[in-house]
Structure 1
Amino acid sequence: MDMAKRSSVPATIFRTWTLFFIGPTTHLQELPKIAFRHTGIASPRWVAWAINPEGKGMVGSQALVAFQKSDGTMSVYTSPVTGYRTQLQKGDLSFGVSDLSATFSNNEIVIFATLELPKNTTTVNQVWQDGPVLNDSPGTHDLSGANVRSMATLNLLSGQSATTGTTNSKIRSKYIHGVLNTISWGIMMPLGVVIARYVSVFESADPAWFYLHVTCQTSAYIVGVVGWDNRSPTRKKISRHPSTLPTGPLAFFSSAFATLQVLSLRLRPKKDHQIQTLLEYLPPLGWVHSHHPKHPQRIQGIRHLEPR
């Protein structure tokens, strides 16, 4: 398909690049005329390209939507996205759109349009997406992988596109959060428990086991707090995703109990203190069961873990 002929301008005016993740290509000239191409349409699917004048992401974006209907004709229209549960209904955008059309050929959908953007607009936040077509209507797109990262900043003067810094920052924050909390809660904290439970029985390890136990537990708590703080700036946005909602309560309770345990290192009573005598009669908070359900083994709290 000859994009230059369709736009009635020399081909040298265009700047072409491949957008990440989903793999479409956008052709742009200095005038606000665009041709958005999405390849690899093997089954009935809708495609959309949008500008978000309010920020980055899907909500608030002003979309151009196109798909091939069951009778072979093309449906192309504008749709303002006002929420995460949008069904891409037809509607007017916050800016004017003219010469809107779309074609389907060789498993490619191309959307053509002229955008009437505000004057002096040099960069815009763009979003692109695709999903299934059900009964000649757009269905819900995938909620993971490339489909939640399909956004970038578009320079209207150079035609260059770059993945948004917000997206990269959020992904990097998630990775750092995962690594730090794996090391703290997944490795160091259990290692401290194992040392207190199984190494303390050896007299030759006394009192080294206790200080090693305290080092593991305290270090795990510090690293875990750093991981929690690293996650805080993005947890509001991430919590909108239904698959991540259970992590909030789990993180809260694990952090709360870890705080109590670390505080007990500093506030634990002496052996002859009245509170210590009372604590001896209280049941432990945690249980570690042996292989046989009738023979439970219990971990006594950190108040008992003093070097002999």
Structure 2
Amino acid sequence: MGSSMLRLVLGLSVLSCVLVTSSAQTCRNQTFSNRVFATCRDLPQLTAYLHWTYDQASGRLEIAFKHAGITSTNRWVAWAINPRNTLDPAMIGAQALVAIPQSNGSPRAYASSITSTSTTLEEGAISYPLSGLSATFENNEVTIFATLTLPNGTTSFVHVWQDGPLSGTTPREHSHETSHQNSKEILDLLSGSSTQPTGNSRQRRRNVFALFLRPNKDHKYRVYWNVYHHLVGYATIIISVVNIFEGFETIEKYVGDRYNSWKHAYIGIIGALAGIAVFLEAFTWIIVFKRRKSENKIPHGANGANGYGSRPQQV
């Protein structure tokens, strides 16, 4: 029952996250003046969205990359394709489109070929034919528009997106928070599906390996395995909850006044789930103790009316 409870709590936690963020902006309710795109995707990091129309025969790719939550003109925004088609590292070799908001007009938009991790996004030519590059900055959202021509036969590519601070007018290194480190994926231009970076597989292998070490129920060390099992389960729940709160802190600057509503709703849901979890855990242990008590109890006269079977006592 303990494992079932753990799965229930984790499942409800995931559901609560979906419910809390269901009111968030999506690419499907975004529109552009005099521009219509065939496909769009909500990117998994940094409150960003990509719209595109792709003609595979000609390689013509029209895009609109939107990054929300840019509340200051002292930041740069970039979207890039990496022709090396590698996620690690995805930055080196990326062909970037950069936008820098201006306080007195439209953002400055230009192209940059990234050759090292210490880049300052210098303006220069990129490896793809490029036209129609422009950008807008409205309602704390930077949008980059462009048309690129991809090599014949291209159906997918690695793309990355970032934002970072400025020093004067020069872009500086972006944050190394998880959301920035994972703002990359392999995008299928035809289906709109993607492949994102995978997590640390060592931890997963260790947890699976632990299952093979589980002693039998009657083994003297089974109690220690049970303690380990419960501690890992509780730790997983706690880390998941804390991680989501960290995520809220990360997106605060991107979602504005929606931050408090989402956070309070999540706290309420987690509080309710915690109450359910405590009740189920207490109920589980009550059943366990009752079962053990009944197993250890020897009923009077179990082997006969006088406790010695049907044979009469000898005097």
TM-score, normalised on structure 2? 0.51
In the alignment, which residue of structure 2 is the partner of 1:172?
200
- Would you say the 8 A contact 2:106–2:137 is kept in 1? no
Equivalent AA in structure 2 for residue 14 of structure 1: A
2:164 equivalent to 1:135: no
Following superposition, the deviation at residue 49 of structure 1 comes to 0.5
Cα 1:161–1:64, aligned 2, differ >3 Å: closer, same or farther?
farther
8 Å Cα contact 1:133/1:139 also seen in 2: yes
Segments of 5+ residues of structure 1 without an aligned counterpart are 184-211, 213-308
Change (3 A) 1:131 1:161: farther
Matched residue, 1:125: 158
SS in 2 for 1:132: strand
2:207, 2:140 → 1: CA distance? 41
Any residues of structure 2 matched to 1:197-212 within 5 Å, and which?
Answer: none
Q: Give the length in aligned residue pairs.
A: 176
CA deviation profile, 1:19-51 (whole Å, cap 9, x unmatched) = 012121111112410000001111232111100
Q: In structure 1, what is the equivalent of residue 122 of structure 2? A: 89
CA contact (8 A) 2:106 2:135 kept: no
1:239-265 CA distance string (max 9 Å, x none):
xxxxxxxxxxxxxxxxxxxxxxxxxxx
The structure, 1 or 2, with the larger RCO (C-alpha pairs under 8 Å, 6+ apart) is: 2
Q: Identify the match of residue 40 of structure 2 among 2, 13, 16.
A: 16
* Corresponding residue number in structure 2 for 1:41: 70
Residue 119 of structure 1 and its aligned partner are, at CA, apart by 1.4
- Mapped contact 1:3–1:35 kept (Cα < 8 A): no
Residues 37-83 of structure 1, C-alpha deviations (whole Å, 9 max, x = no match): 00111123211110001132111111000011344441111111111
Identify which range, 80-89 or 13-22, moves more after superposition.
13-22
Instruction: Tell me which amino acid in the other structure corresponds to 1:18.
Output: D
Q: Distance in 1 between matches of 2:171 and 2:193?
A: 27
Matches of 2:184 and 2:103, distance apart in 1: 29
Checking the alignment, whether the CA contact within 8 Å between 1:69 and 1:136 is kept in structure 2 is no
Give the Cα separation in 1 of the matches to 2:117 and 2:202.
21
Whole-angstrom CA distance in 2 between matches of 1:141 and 1:174: 28
Q: How far apart, in 2, do the equivalents of 1:105 and 1:161 lie?
A: 28
Q: Are 1:62 and 2:112 an aligned pair?
A: no
Give, in whole Å, the separation in 2 of the partners of 1:178 and 1:130. Answer: 35
Is the CA contact 2:133–2:146 (under 8 Å) kept in the aligned structure 1?
yes
Tell me the SS of whatever aligns to 2:64. strand
Given that residues 106 and 136 in structure 2 are in contact (C-alpha distance below 8 angstroms), is that contact kept between their aligned partners in structure 1? no
Amino acid at match of 1:163: T
Output aligned runs, 1:266-281, within 5 Å: none
One-letter amino acid matched to 2:143: V
Match of 2:49 in 1: 25
2:125 partner amino acid: D
SS of 1:91's equivalent in the other structure is coil
Say if 1:83 and 1:2 are closer, same or farther in 2 by CA, change over 3 A. Answer: same
Q: Deviations over 1:171-201 (max 9, x none)?
A: 2325347879xx9xxxxxxxxxxxxxxxxxx
Does the 8 Å contact 1:48/1:65 carry over to 2? yes
Query: Which of residues 83, 94, 101 in structure 2 aligns to 1:53?
Result: 83
Between the aligned residues of both structures, percent identity stands at 40
3-state SS of 2:122 partner: coil
Given that 2:130 and 2:147 are in contact with CA atoms closer than 8 Å, whether structure 1 keeps it comes out as yes
Query: Counterparts of 2:50 and 2:202 in 1: how far apart (Å)?
Result: 30
Deviation at 1:16, TM superposition (A): 1.7
Consecutive unaligned residues of structure 2, counting only runs of 5 or more, are: 1-29, 55-59, 211-220, 222-315
* Separation (CA, whole Å) in 2 of partners of 1:122 and 1:4: 28
User: TM-score, normalising length from structure 1?
Assistant: 0.52
Give the CA RMSD over aligned residues. Answer: 2.7
- The answer as to whether partners of 1:51 and 1:62 remain within 8 angstroms in 2 is yes
1:275 alignment counterpart: none
3-state SS, counterpart of residue 3 of structure 1: coil
User: Counterpart in 2 of 1:216?
Assistant: none
Residue identity in the other structure for 2:41: W
Residue 100 of structure 1: how far off its partner (Å) = 0.3
